[in-house]
Amino acid sequence: DGASSFVREHAGIAAAEKDYGQTAVVANFSCEQAHSNTAFQWFQGGPVLALLPLPGRQTSMIWSLPHGEAERICALQPERLCRELEAASRHVLGALSLITPARSYALRHLSARRMVGPRVALAGDAAHVIHPLAGQGLNLGLQDARLLAQTLLERELVRDPGDLRVLRRYERGRAEPILAMDAMVDGLFRLFGSGSSAVSRLRNAGLNLTDRLPVLKNILMRHAMN
């Protein structure tokens, strides 16, 4: 039921939260050039811009920006917003036309202290929220749902689905993958947000090396898609 989970609150499960210092601006656009079902992403020394493919010649923008800059972008007239996005995305999709008004939401990190309680199991954003820069929030939620369903199906017939001993198997099974993804995304956020020229050179060298090694790139892609 989302990051502001009613269930989590009323189950008495505490959550640790941290402000990323950014706001995500989202909107949908029609595009002149076909996206070929390709997602595009630009790291801008802190801000992160992503264009995600939608059916037809349409794309969804997620632009993570400092709070003040996000307010400015949201206040732009549609034509001006399109021109700024075209420039920021290096005209990769040609001319853009706004379909939906720009909306924004503050980005925060959230981690529930527990994922389960008596007859309660948290999944998705109710249990964990990460920065959207890696596009892994939805995948984590789907993996939660898959393991929870599997755990309930494989329980002993004498045990109730809400038995805390059953639900803790789900919690234990998700602990390591969530921690690993959380650490990776936090590391990427710090890496791409660093203003150090030395860090920037090392980062770019690593990305270029990965791009030249198809085997390594495929391993990383498979891990992300799980």
Contacts of 179 (CB under 8 A, 6+ apart): none
What global pTM score does this model have? 0.81
Which amino acid would we find at residue 175? Answer: A
Residues in the chain: 226
**pLDDT tens digits, one per residue of 29-65:** 999 999 999 999 998 878 899 999 999 999 999 999 9
CATH superfamily placement of domain 1-193? FAD/NAD(P)-binding domain (3.50.50.60)
**pLDDT tens digits, one per residue of 56-107:** 999 999 999 999 999 999 999 999 999 999 999 999 999 999 999 999 999 9
35, 21, 45, 221: which is closest to 135 by C-alpha? 221
Please report, for the chain, the start and end positions of each structural domain, with discontinuous segments joined by +.
1-193
C-alpha span between 110 and 149 (Å, rounded): 23
